[in-house]
Structure 1
Amino acid sequence: MKLARTRPAKTAALALLGAVALTLTACGPGSVDDGGTTGGDDENTSEEGGAELSGTLAGSGASSQENAQNGWMAGFTEANPGVTVSYDPTGSGTGREQFLNGSVLFAGSDAAFDEEELGMASERCLDGEALELPLYISPIAVIYNLPGVEAEHINLTPQALAGIFAGEITTWNDPAIAEANPDIELPEITVVPVNRSDDSGTTENFTEYLSAVAGDVWTHGPIETWPIPGTVSGAQTSGMIDTVSSQEGAIGYADASRAGDLGTAAIGVGEEFVPYSAEAAAAIVDASPATEDATDKRLTIELARDTTESGTYPIVLISYLIACDTYENEADATNVAAYLSYIASPEGQDRAAEPDVAGSAPISEDLRTRVLAAIDSISAAS
């Protein structure tokens, strides 16, 4: 039987002097402003009149979100020192698993739940529904280590990129690469494709792109676990970066915020080659429809990977924040709603977009409105 709930906190995005202020009016778990502090008449109030949040809030999941999560946690706890927030970048698969078994209150995932996981999520959420909120949007950079190549970017067609990771292109001066780079003297050294060794949403997004644009070359389909044995690999995003950085000729894929000093490829889109940028990533997200099974709480997106539209970067990662619409107690419900609201706020999105944080693409106002409506459903079982 479905447990009765306390009334959820209500959210609204309000325009004020050209800026959007985030508010949650008081009901149930408690209201929060854009810093995450609660409002109302609770006797435990701050000098500004808002009740102070307290407790612990543990999350885990996508390592792609690590830099953004560090920024979000810092911003949120500046306003809410009574809440201890943690995020363990274990990888998307582990994060979803830990959320489903109740080890953490929220998760980050570069891939949406599958049908089996959705059934488990309902049980974990006390017969409620899981929220899947696309709050981290970032290009996946194709990174490489070629110290002797001074070009800002190496151009790679979809077919060439798929051929590299399928093991069909084995040297950097292969004609499939050289023809797209007539002004670059490419070395005759071995191409060393590097993949993630763990279950990775970044891998799934990357192979989804390869499958969509070069399915005749990349025949393994979209997959979270690398399907080719005997490859060079690294665990999580940090392992990928370290492996590519340590081996000349290596090429890999990682959240663009972690590319550092490595070379990055410009990807063939239509008649042009497009390097990654937050703007080019946002352009493809805005042009993509919702998935067929999306709901008002599960705001999952079907990326148009094979677009030829000018100025779009198609290897994009949409990483979801996953939470429950029903928690066992009001403290957990309030803290989760407050933290997610901060992440969705203009302040939270702008913080993650800073180049020295994550360089991600802020969500649109339309998406923010729908995200806040979903967060508004979070409540506590009575």
Structure 2
Amino acid sequence: MKNGSRLAALGGLVVAGALTLSACGSDNNQGTNTANVPKGDIDCAKATVNAAGSSAQKNAIEEWTKIYAQKCAGANLNYQPSGSGAGIQAFTQGQVAFAGSDSALKPEEVTAAKQRCQGGNALNLPMVVGPVAVIFNVDGVDSLQLSPATIADAFSGKIKNWNDPTIAKENPDAKLPNTPIKPVYRADESGTTDNFTSYLQATAPKAWTWEPAKKWPAKAGQGANKSDGVTAQVKNTPGTISYVEMSYAESNDLKTAKVKNGAGEYTALTADSASKAVQGAKIVGTGNDVALDIDYTTKEPGAYPIVLVTYEIACEKGLPAEQAAFVKSFLTYTSSADGQKILTNIGYAPLPASVLTKVQGSVKALS
């Protein structure tokens, strides 16, 4: 994981009484001894709180919790990166105070979430732009550029070898080997998969005939659990191709493909190119809900089209007071200018200003 100058300016990452991020098995999520005490630029809340969900945002949560702990002694957050599906389930069952998810709540999840919030609304609060990299491990190939249809054909099993004419046409300078393509997909339910399959359906509907889903729908390839499992599988297996958040691709030194966007450009994945894709997203949530509709077919020049937005799923009201105070305090920090600045140092992109302003207002309304 990369440490930027912003983190150094805040005094380092090793702190006493650190806010812990762990695979905590405890279901005891009751906060204790809540207090709002100004500590520099963070209004602290003392509590012990559990959260779970998206592994895509794990690296961001790690950085945020370390910095928050520097300012807020006695604050403890146990975040389990169990995957979006498991996180939402834990949230609706009352096991965690908030959940991380790489997609907004589905209609069938809203009712259970509302019950969990004691009749209050469960809000989708975008917090992290997590670009989805198309990663590959192909002997003798350092760079690839791929169109949506080619990506869909590779993951569906229609294109079987790396030197297939379709890939060769898009990569005339590459020395493509006559070896099998080995797709790797997320075996667990994943918001990353939901976003990636949404992208494929939106941009290559003739090649990709499955509906978007958190569970991988195609039969070709091999599954691996969570983002760590996917990156390990690709890193250790020649001939593989997969999809994973940019932060994992960078921290594991994996090769990423340039992807053709709606403007016809093969675009490299960077924090800037990912942010350009989210600029055109529409807010489809109502009230304080900030669910987004991302345009995967964006024609924005220089936009990298495969992006996901990681949400924090939080009760607008209805949590025990201690938990509510902690969640509001922590999310106020993560959605602040300082909280968003650290994202570019660790493989993410910050929220565009237009979206961030709305999120900050919604977090302020939490009670």
Residue 297 (structure 1) aligned with residue 285 (structure 2): no
Partner AA of 2:42 in structure 1: G
Helix, strand or coil at the partner of 1:203: helix
Q: CA shift at 1:376, angstroms?
A: 1.8
Contact residue 155 and residue 180 of structure 1 kept, 8 A: yes
After the TM superposition, list the runs of 4 or more consecutive aligned residues in structure 1 that deviate by more than 4 angstroms: 28-35
CA deviation digits over 1:28-64, x for unaligned, max 9? Answer: 98586774335xxxxxxxxxxxxxx312121100000
Deviations 1:125-171 (A, max 9, x none): 1110112111110210000012322x3x2011111101001110010
Quick check: 1:88 aligned with 2:80? Answer: yes
Give the secondary-structure state (helix, strand or coil) at the position aligned to 2:123: strand
User: Which residue type is aligned with residue 244 of structure 1?
Assistant: V
The answer as to whether partners of 1:32 and 1:338 remain within 8 angstroms in 2 is no
Structure 1 residue 228: Cα displacement: 2.4
Moved more, 28-37 or 320-329: 28-37
| 2:341 equivalent in structure 1 | 350
Q: Is the 8 A contact 2:283 2:292 kept in 1?
A: yes
Which residue of the partner structure matches residue 158 of structure 1? 148
Shift of 1:309: 2.7
Aligned match of 1:175: 165
Match of 1:250 among 234, 240, 248: 240
TM-fit CA distance, 1:223: 1.2
| Mapping of residues 208-247 of structure 1, within 5 Å | 208-229=198-219, 231-247=221-237
Query: CA distance change for structure 1 residues 87 and 35 in 2, over 3 Å: closer, same or farther?
Result: farther
Amino acid at match of 2:129: I
Distance in 1, matches of 2:354 and 2:299, equals 24
Q: Residues 193 and 61 from structure 1, CA distance in 2 versus in 1: closer, same or farther, beyond 3 angstroms?
A: same
Structure 1 pair 195–34 and aligned structure 2 pair: CA distance change class (3 A): farther
Aligned residues with identical type, % of pairs: 36
Secondary structure class of the residue paired with 1:161:
helix
Name the CA distance, whole Å, in 1 between partners of 2:222 and 2:173.
Answer: 30
**Cα deviation, residue 85, structure 1:** 1.1
Structure 2 length normalisation: TM-score? 0.87
Measure, in 1, the Cα distance between the counterparts of 2:309 and 2:43: 28
RMSD: 1.7
Alignment-derived partner of residue 310 in structure 1: 301
**Paired amino acid for 1:313:** Y
> Which residue in the other structure is 1:287 paired with?
280
Larger Rg: 1
Native 8 Å contact 1:73 1:86 kept in 2: no
> In 2, Cα distance between the equivalents of 1:213 and 1:364?
23
**Gapped runs of 5+ residues in structure 2?**
1-33
Instruction: Pick one of 93, 99, 124 that aligns with 1:101.
Output: 93
Q: Distance in 2 between matches of 1:231 and 1:322?
A: 32
What is the distance in 2 between the residues matched to 1:128 and 1:365? 27
Alignment of 1:123-134 (within 5 A): 123-134=115-126
Secondary structure of 2:57's partner? Answer: helix
Deviation, 1:230, is 6.1
Contact 2:152–2:200 (CA under 8 A) maintained in structure 1? yes
8 A contact 1:63–1:91 mirrored in 2:
yes
d(CA) in 2 for partners of 1:31, 1:205: 39
Q: Give the unaligned 5+ runs of structure 1.
A: 1-27, 39-52
* Letter of the 1:60 counterpart: A
The CA deviation at 1:361 is 1.1
Amino acid at match of 2:270: S
Q: CA deviation at 1:272?
A: 1.8
Once the 2 structures are TM-superposed, how far is the Cα of residue 297 of structure 1 from its aligned partner? 2.0
Aligned match for 2:311, one of 305, 320, 326? 320
CA-CA distance at 1:287 after TM superposition: 1.2
Separation of aligned partners in 2, 1:78 and 1:67: 17
- The answer to whether the 8 Å contact 2:36/2:43 transfers is no
Q: Cα distance, 1:348 vs. partner?
A: 1.1
Letter of the aligned partner of 1:227 in structure 2? P
How many correspondences in the alignment? 331
Name the residue aligned to 1:12: none
1:374 aligns with 2:362: yes
Partners of 2:54 and 2:140 in 1: CA distance: 33
1:338 maps to 2:329 = yes
CA–CA separation in structure 1 for the residues paired with 2:164 and 2:340: 41
Deviates more, 1:325-334 or 1:335-344: 325-334
Contact map agreement 2:87 2:100 (CA 8 A) in 1:
yes
Relative to structure 1, is the Cα distance of residues 370 and 331 closer, same or farther in structure 2, using a 3 angstrom cutoff? same
CA distance in 2, matches of 1:376, 1:155: 43
2:105 to 113, 116, 123: 113
User: Whole-Å Cα distance in 1 between the matches of residues 311 and 352 of structure 2?
Assistant: 15
1:225-269 CA-to-partner distances (Å, cap 9, x unmatched) read 011236311100001101111210000000011012221100012
User: Whole-Å Cα distance in 2 between the matches of residues 344 and 33 of structure 1?
Assistant: 17
3-state SS, counterpart of residue 292 of structure 2: coil
Residue 148 (structure 1) aligned with residue 144 (structure 2): no
